[in-house]
Every structure is written in structure tokens, then in C-alpha cells.
């Protein structure tokens, strides 16, 4: 993971395109995405996200019908801390271990949180618009956007070579690429709908960040 984030930070060109919601289109360079990963490492580490066998907490990405770039940054930060990640629907069974929830803000202020978050130790709320500086966080929840920006631009990242993610009841072990190719030499990966559901899709997604371009779409 250490070499992945370092390689990502050297790619001073757009590596990720977020399309939506609506007509919005946002391009992120490698250093910008790496910076969000570092800041998320600081925040999640403060919330005790880390290996379960060492007393750490897992991260749960809740209600992610489509993968958003901020959720991806949080997921990669969790992997950098050695934590497992669960991709959860609103009515899915909660993780067995202690965990931190990460979810998009509700479309309407005052809406109830998904039931699955009731067992989470903390709830982080993000926003879908790419340039949003804050999110509507219900009482007892943390505004991820405001809080994460208070953390350092650089953080210690462990040298993990794989990450574990649970999607639709399947536990996947994803190999993390460590070497980037020349700019433009790689492929473009599209995730127009849904969250990657197999190892090959996740590995293609990560490789695109280092050798080509990743396109995410949020309705």
C-alpha cells in the first residue's frame, strides 16, 4: 500500500474522473487523490480503524449503490491501516466486529440513518457533489468533509500488499499494485454502476489509477 500511494502521488495528471451527480464532472490528479488518502488515514486512525486482530475497527461503506471517489479514498485509507472494508446495503447485516460507518448524506435533511449503522461505533457522513466542503451530518455523526481536512497532508502508510473487502457476502482479497506505468500507457476502467463485485474488477480499478484513468459515475 505504501508504494501504491507513493506512485499515485507522482502522477501529476488526471487519474480519476467522477461523473455526476447530474451533469457534474470532476477530474482528480494523482497528488490530490493521494492527499485525500493521507488525510483519511489520519482521521480513520484517530477512530481506531485498523486490523481486527490488533483491536482495530473495520470500515463499512454504507448505501454505496455506485462507488464515489471519496468513498474510494476512505476505503484505500482503511487498507493502508490494515483494516477490512465492508460494502453494505441499508438493510444488510452489520459486521461482526467493531466498525466505523461511512455513508453519503441523505437527500433530505432530517432523514433517518440506515438501520445497519445502529451498531457502528462512529458514523462518517460525506456528500456526493465533488466540490462540496461539508455534509449534512445528523446529531451524533461526523461530517467527513469538514473533519478530514483538519488532518495532515502526509501520514504513515503501512506496506500492505493486499486489501480485504466484503461485497455481497463475499470476502475478497485484492492485490494492490505497486508500480505505475508511463502516463497514458495504461487502460481506462469504468464503473458506470454498482460496486466492483470480484477481485479482477477491483484490481483493474486500482491498476487504472496508476497506469491510466479511472471513471466513476454517480447518478
Residues 149-192: pLDDT tens digits?
A: 999 998 988 888 999 999 988 999 999 997 644 444 456 776 65
Domain boundaries, the chain: 2-217
DSSP 102-120: EEEPPSSTTPPPPGGGGG-
- Dihedral (CA of 77, 79, 83, 86) sign: positive
pLDDT at 127: 93
Rounded Cα–Cα distance for residues 80 and 95 (Å) = 20
Consecutive H or E run containing 214: strand 213-217
User: pLDDT-based confidence at 130, cuts 50/70/90?
Assistant: confident
Contact between 115 and 78 under an 8 Å Cβ cutoff? The reply is no
pLDDT at 186: 55
Residue 189 grid coordinates: 476502467
* pLDDT (mean) for 31-47: 97
Secondary-structure class of domain 2-217 per CATH? alpha beta
- Dihedral (CA of 35, 207, 203, 156) sign: negative
Mean pLDDT across the chain? 90
Rounded Cα–Cα distance for residues 171 and 188 (Å) = 25
Amino acid at each position: 500500500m505504501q508504494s501504491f500511494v507513493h506512485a499515485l502521488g507522482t502522477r501529476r495528471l488526471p487519474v480519476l474522473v467522477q461523473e455526476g451527480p447530474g451533469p457534474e464532472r470532476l477530474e482528480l490528479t494523482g497528488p490530490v487523490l493521494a492527499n485525500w488518502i493521507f488525510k483519511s488515514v489520519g482521521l480513520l486512525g484517530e477512530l481506531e480503524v485498523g486490523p481486527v486482530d490488533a483491536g482495530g475497527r473495520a470500515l463499512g461503506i454504507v448505501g454505496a449503490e455506485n462507488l464515489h471517489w471519496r468513498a474510494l479514498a476512505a476505503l484505500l485509507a482503511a487498507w493502508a491501516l490494515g483494516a477490512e472494508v465492508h460494502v453494505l446495503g441499508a438493510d444488510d447485516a452489520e459486521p461482526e466486529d467493531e466498525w466505523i460507518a461511512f455513508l453519503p448524506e441523505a437527500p433530505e435533511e432530517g432523514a433517518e440513518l440506515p438501520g445497519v449503522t445502529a451498531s457502528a461505533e462512529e458514523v462518517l457522513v460525506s456528500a456526493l457533489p465533488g466540490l462540496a466542503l461539508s455534509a449534512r451530518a445528523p446529531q451524533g455523526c461526523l461530517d467527513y468533509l469538514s473533519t478530514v481536512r483538519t488532518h495532515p497532508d502526509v501520514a504513515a502508510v503501512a506496506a500492505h500488499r493486499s486489501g480485504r473487502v466484503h461485497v455481497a457476502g463475499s470476502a475478497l482479497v485484492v492485490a494492490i499494485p505497486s508500480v505505475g506505468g508511463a502516463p497514458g500507457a495504461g487502460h481506462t476502467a469504468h464503473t458506470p454502476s454498482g460496486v466492483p463485485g470480484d477481485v479482477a474488477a477491483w484490481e483493474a480499478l486500482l491498476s487504472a489509477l496508476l497506469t491510466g484513468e479511472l471513471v466513476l459515475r454517480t447518478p
